[in-house]
Structure 1
Amino acid sequence: MATVEFNYSWLPGQTRRKQQDELLFNALRAIHNTGSVQHGAREIGLSYRHVWGMLIKWQAMLNEPLVTMERGRGTRLTPFGEKLLWAEQRVNARLAPQLESLAAELEREFQTVLNSGAETLRVHASHDLALSQLRDLVNRDDGSPRLDVSFMGSQESLASLVRGHCDLAGFHVSEQESKATLAHLAYRRWLRPRTQLLVHFVGRQQGLIVARGNPLKIRGVKDLTRSRVRFVNRQGGSGTRLLLDQLLWDGEIDKARINGYDNEEFTHLAVAATIASGGANAGIGIKAAASRYNLDFIPLVNERYFLAVRKESTHSPAFKSLLAALKSGEFAAAVAGLPGYEAAKCGELVSIKDALPWYASTPQEKVK
Structure 2
Amino acid sequence: MKISGEVRWTIDGLTMEPRLVMLLESIARLGNLQAATKVTGLSYRHAWGLLEAAANQLGEPLVVPQQGRGTQLSPLAERLLAGLVDASGPLAAAIREAEARLHATLETALPSAPAKAAVVHASHDLALARLRELLQTGHGTPLELHFQGSLDCLAALRRKQCDVAGFHLPVVPEASVLAAQLRPWLRMKSLRVARLFDRTQGLMVATGNPKRLSAIADLARKGVRFVNRQPGSGTRLCFDFLLAQQGLRPGAIHGYAHEEFTHAAVAATVASGMADAGFGIEAAAREQDLAFVPVVQEHYYFAARSTTLRQPRLHALLVRIESPAFQKLVNGLAGYRAAGALDWRPATEILG
* TM norm structure 1: 0.67
Q: 1:151 aligns with which of 147, 170, 176?
A: 147
After superposition, the Cα gap between the structure-2 partners of 1:193 and 1:253, relative to the gap in structure 1 and judged at 3 Å, is: same
Q: In structure 1, what is the equivalent of residue 212 of structure 2?
A: 217
Match of 1:22 in 2: 43
Q: How many Å apart are 1:192 and its aligned residue?
A: 2.5
User: Secondary structure of 1:8's partner?
Assistant: helix
Structure 1: where are the runs of 5+ without partners? 12-20, 27-60, 62-77, 85-101, 361-368
Correspondence 1:163-312 to 2 at 5 A: 163-176=159-172, 178=174, 180-181=176-177, 183-192=178-187, 194-312=189-307
Where has structure 1 moved over 4 Å in runs of 4 or more? 1-4, 23-26, 78-82, 111-115
Matching residue's letter, 1:137 = L
The secondary structure found in structure 1 opposite 2:241 is: helix
How far the C-alpha of 1:136 sits from its partner, in A, is 2.3
The residue number in structure 2 matching 1:64 is none
Show the counterpart of 1:331.
326
- State how far apart, in whole Å, the 2-side matches of 1:154 and 1:303 are: 13
Kindly tell me: are residues 211 and 3 of structure 1, through their superposed partners in 2, closer, same or farther at Cα, counting changes over 3 Å?
A: farther
Which whole-Å CA distance do the structure 1 matches of 2:175 and 2:201 have between them? Answer: 20
The letter for the 2-side match of 1:159 is: A
Question: Cα distance, 1:2 vs. partner?
Answer: 8.7
- Deviations, residues 59-106 of structure 1 (Å, cap 9, x unaligned): xx9xxxxxxxxxxxxxxxx9969947xxxxxxxxxxxxxxxxx9xxx9
How much has 1:227 moved relative to structure 2?
1.3
CA change 1:131–1:346 in 2 (3 A) is farther
Note if contact 2:171-2:299 (Cα within 8 Å) is conserved in structure 1: yes
Residue aligning to 1:129: 126
Looking at structure 1, the residues matched to 290 and 274 of structure 2 have their Cα atoms a distance apart, in angstroms, of 14
Cα distance in 1 for partners of 2:298, 2:221 equals: 27
Residues 193 and 351 in structure 1, CA contact (< 8 A), matched pair in contact too: no
CA change 1:83–1:199 in 2 (3 A) is: same
SS in structure 2 of the partner of residue 223 of structure 1: helix
Asked if structure 2 preserves the Cα contact closer than 8 Å seen for 1:119 and 1:145, the reply is: no
Q: Would you say the 8 A contact 2:201–2:297 is kept in 1? A: yes
Whole-Å Cα distance in 1 between the matches of residues 147 and 18 of structure 2?
A: 18
Q: Which residue of 2 is the match for residue 8 of structure 1?
A: 19
The answer as to whether partners of 2:260 and 2:266 remain within 8 angstroms in 1 is yes
Distance 1:263 1:3 in 2: 33
Identity %: 39
Compared CA separation, residues 177 and 193, structure 1 to 2 (3 A): farther
Could you tell me how far apart the structure 2 residues matched to 1:179 and 1:223 are?
22
The one-letter code matched in structure 1 to 2:130 is Q
Aligned to 1:30: none
What secondary structure does 1:245 align onto? helix
Amino acid at match of 2:159: R
The CA distance in 1 between the partners of 2:175 and 2:338, in whole Å, is: 25
Given candidates 311, 328, 332, the residue that maps to 1:316 is 311
Give the SS at the match of 2:185.
coil
> Aligned with 2:207: secondary structure?
coil
Question: Partners in 1 of 2:176 and 2:144 — Cα distance?
Answer: 33
CA contact (8 A) 2:168 2:299 kept: yes
Per the normalisation by structure 2, the TM-score is 0.70
Instruction: Quickly say closer, same or farther: Cα 1:218–1:169, change in 2 above 3 A.
Output: same
**Residue deviations 1:34-76 (CA, integer Å, cap 9, x gap):** xxxxxxxxxxxxxxxxxxxxxxxxxxx9xxxxxxxxxxxxxxx
Q: Report how many aligned residue pairs link the two structures.
A: 285
Cα separation, 2, equivalents of 1:155 and 1:280: 26
Structure 2, gaps ≥5 residues long: 5-16, 25-41, 48-55, 57-64, 72-94
- Range 246-255 or range 341-350, more displaced: 341-350
CA distance in 1, matches of 2:243, 2:322: 36
Is residue 178–residue 184 contact of structure 1 (8 Å, CA) maintained in 2? no
SS at match of 2:186: coil
| Aligned equivalent of 1:91 | none
The reply on whether 1:342 has 2:334 as its aligned counterpart is: no
CA-to-partner distance for each residue in 1:140-169, whole Å, 9 max, x for gaps? 457x54111111110111111111111111
